[in-house]
Amino acid sequence: MNTYRYIFRYLKKRMPLVIASILFALGSSLTALYVPIIFGDAIDILAEDGNRLEKIVYKLALAGVIVLITALMQWLTAIINNKITYEVVKEIRNDVFVKLQKLPLGYLDIHPTGEIVSRMISDTDTFADGLLLGFTQGFTGIVTIIGTLIYMWSLSRVTTVVVVVVTPLSLFVARFIATRTHDLFIAQSKVRGEQTAIIDEMIGEERTVKSLGYEKKAIEEFDEVNERLGKISLKALFYSSLVNPSTRFVNSVVYALVALVGGFRALSGLMSIGSLTALLAYATQYTKPFNEISGVLTELQNAVACVSRVFELLNEQEEAECLDLAGQLKCVEGNITIKDVAFSYVPEKPLIGDFDLNVQKGQTVAIVGPTGCGKTTLINLLMRFYDVNGGSICVDGVDIRKVSRHELRSNFGMVLQDTWIMSGTVLDNIMLGRKNATREEAIEAAKAAHAHSFIRRLPKGYDTVLSEGGGELSQGQKQLLCITRVMLALPPILILDEATSSIDTRTEIRIQKAFHKLMEGRTSFIVAHRLSTIMDADVIIVMKDGHIMEQGSHEELLEKGGFYSELFMSQFAG
């Protein structure tokens, strides 16, 4: 019922179109049902006096006009129904995409990308098919059934009573089967999401799959999910396909009873031949919607099962936002205070605890330590990709939880080890972080990042169109583009997370010089495994198991002879 309430919420915005669709469907159904009456009158005229040709022609012409009017209204109904359906689906997809921008990274971390894509694309497509079928055949079928009963009542009340008595059997059969297919369609939708996730994962990492010889295992994983999807789909299809033949059997019984009762009444002189003909036509028209509605019920079960997964996503908890101190980070100097911070991705597995750090404006802070010690997690907390579980992080004395994430992140420039290149020109990719920059400023930033030389060698230079992921570029070139973005944005605080890991040593030395120039007067955080890149840092923080083990300059830490000294010696032995 919650799912139906959500659907109605979207339909309510298009109520004028829904009302127009209902009116046109009502009109087309009633005019279509009037045609058998006209043909019945024509047969009675022919039976009484075959020479009255002009009356028969008039009846046939009237039937032709009504059929044309019916066709026009059905055409308008189809147009309106399509407009309603695709506007609703468009709005749902838009809401899902907007929702994804507001969901915490924790949700995206635990839900495969392929599953989310499946909800947004495949499930909404299935919902569109079910909604369109519901509008096109569902309401029209109900109107046809009610209208047929009214017309039949006017011709023969006895026959109508017989039909009404038998009808619940058809409804019971359809409902009995349809309710049992709902769980199967839910399971089918979930397994389809698993399959999409596997396809997305394996194709996205095809190089890794091939390099590790994982193809056979990947095929086995896909076959297992594909086999489950095949079985559940076949079972759902089998049970849902029972509806139509079951209701057809009941409908055939209805038709036979109408013919039997009507035939006896016609032989008894209680009904004309034309009326019997009209009754038989109505019996066909009366039973036909039951077959259509049974199909609609099956499709609706599938559609509701799919769209309920979409609405689950829309109901997810959004990132909490606080604007108590909005506007306080307009002119950031770069003083950062981290006090008593505690954090864990999973409650039962603490990662960072009692973490304290005081960074002054313009300082360069290097963060080193073994894998899994919490280096990247600390960066995630600074950027508010995750909120701390305890303690506080302040920028210029302002708790970062008191301002919007957008305001906070606009003061940070971040270069990650993992690069992201969007589909578009090289210039578009450089200007991602600063849309109002000029072309000349972007070129100067590229020169500072030592990316200008390779960009010039591209087919169209800065106007070269790159595909999603930047497959035309090497990993090092992609990383240079990401560095150029930061060079262009010139934020007051920099975060470099293994920013030069994919760049050759010679270019790295030149970029380090550019970084030094860029970092002048700016607070900078550098996460690095290669200690040669952070020897000039003002403060080096050595982390282990979420705590600061050592802290000081390069020379101070070497003199201590502790963990940092061991790391340094292991890299520069001899």
Same-domain check for residues 393 and 462: no
Please report the pLDDT score of residue 72 as a whole number.
Answer: 93
Please report the pLDDT score of residue 68 as a whole number.
Answer: 93
Of 465, 489, 513, the last residue of a domain is 489
Flag whether 210 is in a domain.
no
pLDDT, mean of each 10-residue run, the chain (574 residues):
78 86 84 80 70 76 89 90 87 88 81 81 82 73 79 77 74 70 78 83 78 83 90 83 73 76 74 75 73 69 80 82 69 85 82 84 86 81 87 87 83 81 88 85 87 89 86 80 84 81 70 73 82 81 82 86 82 63
- The domain that holds 304 is classified in CATH as 1.20.1560.10
Overall domain count for the chain:
3
Same-domain check for residues 60 and 93: yes
Query: Is 258 within 8 Å of 159 (Cβ atoms)?
Result: yes
Same-domain check for residues 27 and 141: yes
Same-domain check for residues 84 and 99: yes
Q: How far apart are CA 546 and CA 538, in angstroms?
A: 21
Q: Mapping DSSP to helix (H, G, I), strand (E, B) and coil, where does residue 340 land? A: strand
Same-domain check for residues 500 and 484: no
In the numeric block, which tokens belong to residue 156?
């023969």
Which CA distances in Å does 26 have to 150, 151, 288, 292, 444? 14, 14, 17, 17, 67
Flag whether 263 is in a domain.
yes
Please report the pLDDT score of residue 529 as a whole number.
Answer: 75
Query: Is 167 within 8 Å of 254 (Cβ atoms)?
Result: yes
Same-domain check for residues 513 and 500: yes
Sheet holding 390-395, edge to edge: 352-359, 336-343, 390-395, 398-399
Q: Return the amino acid letter for 340.
A: D
Paired residues of 101 in beta bridges: none
Of 458, 489, 520, the last residue of a domain is 489
Q: How far apart are CA 522 and CA 500, in angstroms?
A: 19
Flag whether 205 is in a domain.
no
Flag whether 199 is in a domain.
no
Q: How far apart are CA 225 and CA 231, in angstroms?
A: 10
Flag whether 204 is in a domain.
no
Q: Mapping DSSP to helix (H, G, I), strand (E, B) and coil, where does residue 51 land? A: coil
β-strands 364-368, 539-544 pairing: parallel
Flag whether 440 is in a domain.
yes
Residue 147: closest CA among 264, 297, 281: 281
Q: How far apart are CA 258 and CA 277, in angstroms?
A: 11
Residue 484: closest CA among 530, 441, 544, 524: 441
- Please give the residue range of the domain that contains residue 554: 331-411+491-574
Same-domain check for residues 188 and 286: yes
What DSSP letter does each residue of 236-266 carry, written as one string? HHHHHHTHHHHHHHHHHHHHHHHHHHHHHHH
Same-domain check for residues 277 and 402: no
In the numeric block, which tokens belong to residue 13?
């915005």
Residue 89: closest CA among 316, 317, 318, 310: 310
- The domain that holds 342 is classified in CATH as 3.40.50.300
Of 441, 461, 489, the last residue of a domain is 489
Flag whether 458 is in a domain.
yes
Please report the pLDDT score of residue 174 as a whole number.
Answer: 67
pTM score of the predicted model = 0.68
Same-domain check for residues 445 and 301: no
Please report the pLDDT score of residue 69 as a whole number.
Answer: 92
Please report the pLDDT score of residue 421 as a whole number.
Answer: 85
Same-domain check for residues 248 and 178: yes
* Residue 421 backbone class (left: φ over 0; alpha: ψ -120 to 50; beta: rest): beta
Q: Mapping DSSP to helix (H, G, I), strand (E, B) and coil, where does residue 186 land? A: helix
Please report the pLDDT score of residue 178 as a whole number.
Answer: 67
Same-domain check for residues 479 and 499: no
- 46: number of Cβ within 10 Å: 17
Q: Helix count (H) and strand count (E) of the chain?
A: 21, 12
Same-domain check for residues 68 and 127: yes
Query: Is 456 within 8 Å of 450 (Cβ atoms)?
Result: no
